Amino acid sequence: MEDVVKSEKFNGHKMEIAHHDPNEIVEAEPLSWKFWKKRRYVVVFLAFLGFFNVYSLRVNLSVAIVAMTENRTVIDDAGNISYEQDFPWDSKQRGLILSSFFYGYITTQFIGGFIGAKIGGNIVFGLGIGTTALLTLLTPLAAKHSLEMFLAVRIIEGVFEGVTFPCIHAVWSRWSPPLERSRMASIAFAGNYAGTVIAMPSSGLLASAYGWESVFYVFGTIGLIWFFIWIVVVRSGPDRDRFCSDDEREFIQKKIGYGGNKQIKHPWKAIFTSKPFYAIVASHFSENWGFYTLLTQLPTFLKDTLNFNLDKTGFVSAVPYLAMGILLGVSGYLADWLQIKKILTTTQVRRYFNCAAFLAQTIFMILTAYLSDPTWSVVCITIAVGLGAFAWSGFAVNHLDIAPQHASVLMGIGNTFATIPGIVSPLLTGYLVTEKTAEEWKAVFFISAGIYLIGCIIYWLWASGELQEWAKTPEQKASEAEERQRAVLAKSNGKEGYVNAAAELKEQ
């Protein structure tokens, strides 16, 4: 009799979990637009500013290098005209400088997440950006010392920035309730595009008004100010934050639960023989090729080919990333809406969004190559970069579809390969664009278009939005086996009518 009572209680508890958990856990003061009242959204806001610094410290060189290498007209007292430049770097050297950051960046993708989990994601995230900011302040000194010293500083900056994206997940694992993770992460990552949009025009204005050195001094100082605020305010989790209310702390911890520390064994052979995984990697590589090409080369292209002034170059270079930042919200909402309304399956959403974006980017890259009109070239580039937002709603979240418990590992592997374009693209552009002619730049855009097209084809053929067999947990496999056994028992017990009806519905 006691067993029956326990069974009833157990079943009742299951019913409660199925219908009320986790929604039964509520905060005394519900979430509102007053984000500062919720400690976790203070963390999100500061993470947004952190990623703002991540990209502003990364892209300011793309504009500053134009001022560092431009020929200036000098008229002496006698009226003689001459030309001078601070650094006589040729196109190959400029390409090496712009790509050097990624030599360091590619080395710390896995390390960042590992160390962050050990000592606290908040510490690694802060130190990664803070150290990069300090090195940015030293950049003018390094550049004036020698090209080799300048390259060394940029490589070390990449090493420290490389930990930021992986280790922020250690922060979210302690601070973000499951039903709020998407919005918290998307708000924080929006700082990337805010940093790009603001840093590019600001760098142009600073370089024109106060010299190229001011670009590094201003953004380095902003980064250090943010670092001190982050270290003082943010803790690794709500349990270590004395300003987090008991109500919010209990809410977060109950929502997250305590079963997430299980050791997960990654099926390496299955991962590296999975076509859907390679589809994601190919798309990530393709998208980053076009993105990094324009991120590092667009200011130079605008000045060399379209004759934009330096102050205008920064503003125009920021427009495509503003478009991408806006469209990211639209594409994410639309992708979720299509699945919720059952208009498209997950596989269809990922495939259609990703491949449609890549096809459009291919077309507009080719148009950019042929158009010599400044206005229409900028329009085409803006559309090409902006539509990348829809690709991010395809491949970038696809890891969670095919293997949720291995998603961080898949992202780490994919992001390592996707960093290669940041190294190769500027170098290749440096070798291709030696005379700064429109024909040379045409080759750069054709290559980007071709890589987009290859990524589109691979993703269309191999992509999947379904949970892969190798990624299923033992519990999921046991549940599926139980369902199959139940169907067999139902059939053997004379319930063929039920089974046949289900089969008929499936055939229809």
Mean pLDDT across the chain: 78
Half-sphere exposure of 346 (CA within 13 A, CB side): 11
Band of pLDDT at residue 142, cut at 50, 70 and 90 = very high
pLDDT in tens, 473-499: 776 777 777 878 887 887 776 554 444
Band of pLDDT at residue 262, cut at 50, 70 and 90 = low
Contact 288, 418 (CB under 8 A): yes
Confidence at residue 314, expressed as pLDDT on a 0 to 100 scale: 61
Greater confidence (360 vs 310) lies with 360
3-class SS of residue 503: helix
Band of pLDDT at residue 7, cut at 50, 70 and 90 = very low
Residue 176 has pLDDT above 60, yes or no: yes
% helix / strand / coil in the chain, to the nearest 5?
A: 80, 0, 20
Greater confidence (2 vs 266) lies with 266
Structural domains of the chain sorted by starting position, each given as residue range(s) with its CATH number in brackets: 35-70+86-252 (1.20.1250.20), 276-466 (1.20.1250.20), 473-508 (no CATH)
Residue 275 has pLDDT above 50, yes or no: yes
Greater confidence (323 vs 305) lies with 323
H or E element: which one contains 140? helix 121-145
| CA distances to 34, 35, 253 from 30, in Å | 10, 11, 16
pLDDT in tens, 322-372: 888 788 777 877 887 887 788 988 899 889 999 999 999 899 888 887 876
Measure the CA–CA gap between 180 and 401, rounded to whole angstroms.
18
Confidence at residue 18, expressed as pLDDT on a 0 to 100 scale: 36
Residue 443 has pLDDT above 90, yes or no: no
Q: Which one-letter DSSP state was computed for residue 162?
A: T
Residue 317 has pLDDT above 80, yes or no: no
Of the candidates 157, 155, 163, 160, the one whose C-alpha atom is nearest the C-alpha of residue 111 is 163
Residue 66 has pLDDT above 70, yes or no: yes
Residue 235 falls in which region: left (phi positive, over 0), alpha (psi -120 to 50) or beta: beta
What is the mean predicted confidence (pLDDT) over 465-477?
80
Measure the CA–CA gap between 168 and 381, rounded to whole angstroms.
31
Greater confidence (179 vs 189) lies with 189
Confidence at residue 486, expressed as pLDDT on a 0 to 100 scale: 81
What is the mean predicted confidence (pLDDT) over 439-453?
87
Residue 498 carries which side chain, given as an amino acid letter? Y
What is the mean predicted confidence (pLDDT) over 30-52?
82
Confidence at residue 25, expressed as pLDDT on a 0 to 100 scale: 66
Measure the CA–CA gap between 355 and 76, rounded to whole angstroms.
58
Confidence at residue 406, expressed as pLDDT on a 0 to 100 scale: 72
- Radius of gyration in angstroms for the set of CA atoms belonging to the chain, rounded to a whole number: 26
List Cβ neighbours of 64 (8 Å cut-off, separation of 6 or more): 203, 207, 212, 215, 216
Greater confidence (45 vs 426) lies with 45
| Residue 68: both structure tokens together | 């560092």
Confidence at residue 259, expressed as pLDDT on a 0 to 100 scale: 43
Of the candidates 133, 143, 134, 130, the one whose C-alpha atom is nearest the C-alpha of residue 64 is 143
User: What does the buried/exposed string (b/e) look like for 431-463 if buried means 16 or more CB atoms within 10 Å of the residue's CB?
Assistant: ebbeeeeeebbbebbebbbebbbbbbebbbebb
Band of pLDDT at residue 53, cut at 50, 70 and 90 = very high
Greater confidence (218 vs 304) lies with 218
